[in-house]
Structure formats: C-alpha cells, structure tokens
Amino acid sequence: MSVGPTVRRRRLGSELRRLREAHSFKLEEAADKLGLAASTLSRIETGKAPTRTVYLTTMFEMYGVADPGQRRVLTEMAREGHRKGWWAVYDDILPTGFDVYVGLEAEATALRVFEDQVVHGLLQTEAYARTVMTSVRRRQGSRELDRAVELRLQRQKVLIRPDPLKLWCILSEPVVSRLIGGPEVMGEQLARLLEMGQWPNVTLQILTLASGVHPALNGPFCILEFPERGDPDVVYAEGVAGHAYLERDVEVRARAEVFDLLRAAALSPADTAKMIGRMAEEIA
C-alpha cells in the first residue's frame, strides 16, 4: 500500500515537533521566528496542514538539521504532503476539518469503530446515506447532497481495494432498530449489514440495550491504524461541536481499552447476524 499525502504530513509534522522540542523551542517561540501564528505551526506539526519549503528551510537552520540526507528526506516528505488526495475534489462539501479524517481513512489499514446513532458511513447503502444526509444537511441544495452521498460511496472503496481495509464495527442497538427512511430503505440497509458482515475483512457486532451502562456513553469514536510502525494510531471523535483527533499515546490506549470492553459486552458476530436477520423480517 502506497503512503498518501495525509500520512506523509503526519510523519513530517511529528519529526518537526521532535526537532523543535529537542532544541527546547516552545511552540510560540518557534512560530514567531517563522513568522507564523502558533495555531498554524501546530497544524503543521499535527499533520493537518502542509509545510511550505520556505518554512522548512528556516526550520532546518533553527533546529540544526545539517545532514544533506536528512534534509532531502524531510523535503521530499513536505513535497509529497502537498499532493492532493482523491477527496480534494469534494472540498466544497466537506465539513471543516473532515478532509483530514477522509485522508486518514483512505490510508489506514484498519478501523475500530463504535457508532451509537447511525450506521457507519462505510457500511451505508446509497438510499440510507441520502436519508441521513437530507436530515443533517438541511440547508444544502440537491446538488450538494448528491455530492455528499457520492463522497460517502467513494469512501467505501477502501473495503474492496486489493489490500482491503479491515473494519471492526460495533453498533449500538438503536442504530439498527431506528427506522430510517421507512421499511424499504431500512430493510435494504439491514440486508447490506448482513452481507458485509460475512466479508473476511469486516467484523460486525451489536451492543444491545440489555448490556446496560458501558464506557462509551459519551459518544461514538473511531481508532485508525496504519501500516508502518512509525505512524501511530489516531482516535477520531465527532460531535455537534466539531471533530477531535487524539494522538497522544495515553489517549489512544484509553480508547482502545474502551473498545475492548465494548467488544466483550457486545453480541458475537454470529448472534449479531441473527438479530439483524430478525429485525429485517419484522419490517419486511
């Protein structure tokens, strides 16, 4: 699997942050020397923004990067980080900050997901996706909604590429019991879940209401894993206040532990399939 621009930016940002800290520069101090806002340098160091060559050259001097080989590698990473991913053509309809997630998802090798409101985007049918989009994007016109649905379907190709993404998805029971779009739309969606649950790279579980209190009552989240050990896992969480990306090791480990607890409390994949099958029969 080739490394895309989002992961390249993350790698470069991580190295630049390491170099800054090794030379005891505070973020604000380094940003001031570069003529940048501290928030802009933070976005560069977290891989959320590309690095201009002029800034990189100044950082080499500030951080004492004299080795030509190291400079060449970092410069190449910056150049690759400027490439546009396939999702760039949807910039006009992407919510602010969500382009980072789409890039990470496109370049990840595995996702561990907990959803408590709707079926995860990678598992949605077109009709279900359109119903959800129409509800949550109430101020957008038909063209914008069409493009939003198209983007969602394009994202799903990660599950059928030559090296398919491994998806482990835990859905809270209301996700599959809530009638979204009417019996026909929901019936088609349940059938899709049954089908995809049989795929070798997809594991599907339902966390029933009977399981009671659980450690993810504060909302859904996703853990993204990448092919190289140098690219640490990222936790993505989405809410009404926006998008959050958690990358500190302690934060990622905490969410991984939560996911393991949910996985243990949820129905097995086989029992999940039986439950979805019963629900599909009830609304048919």
> What pLDDT shows up at residue 215?
93
Lowest average pLDDT, out of 5-9, 218-222, 262-266, goes to 5-9
- Please list, residue by residue across 55-72, b when 16 or more beta carbons sit within 10 angstroms of its beta carbon and e when fewer do: bbebbbebbebeeeeeee
Mean pLDDT of the chain: 91
**Average pLDDT, stretch 19-44?**
92
**Cα 284 to Cα 183, 184, 187, 195, distances in angstroms:** 7, 8, 7, 17
Domains of the chain: which residue ranges? 5-81, 89-283
Q: pLDDT-based confidence at 241, cuts 50/70/90?
A: low
pLDDT of residue 224: 96
What are the residues facing 235 on neighbouring strands? Answer: 223, 246
Higher-confidence residue: 149 or 284?
149
User: Same CATH fold, 89-283 and 5-81?
Assistant: no
Residue 50 pLDDT grade (very low, low, confident, very high; cuts 50, 70, 90): confident
CA distances from 109 to 27, 34, 128, 176, 234 (A): 32, 35, 26, 26, 12
Q: How far is CA 93 from the centre of its chain?
A: 17
pLDDT tens figures, 182-233: 999 999 999 999 999 999 999 999 999 999 999 999 899 999 999 877 788 9
pLDDT for 78 equals 86
Query: Which strands, in side-by-side order, build the sheet including 166-172?
Result: 202-207, 166-172, 110-115, 221-225, 234-239, 242-246
What's the angle, vertex CA 129, arms to CA 124 and CA 130, rounded to 5?
A: 155
- What are 248's two structure tokens? 């500190």
Architecture of domain 89-283: 2-Layer Sandwich (3.30)
Q: What is the 3-state secondary structure (H, E, C) of 146-212?
A: HHHHHHHHHHHHHHCCCCCCEEEEEEEHHHHHCCCCHHHHHHHHHHHHHHHCCCCCEEEEEECHHHC
CATH number corresponding to 5-81: 1.10.260.40
Q: How large is the average pLDDT for residues 161-186?
A: 96
Stretch among 136-140, 172-176, 231-235 having the lowest mean pLDDT: 136-140
pTM equals 0.83
Cα dihedral 86, 90, 94, 99, rounded to 10, equals 20
State the pLDDT confidence band at 28, using cuts at 50, 70 and 90.
very high
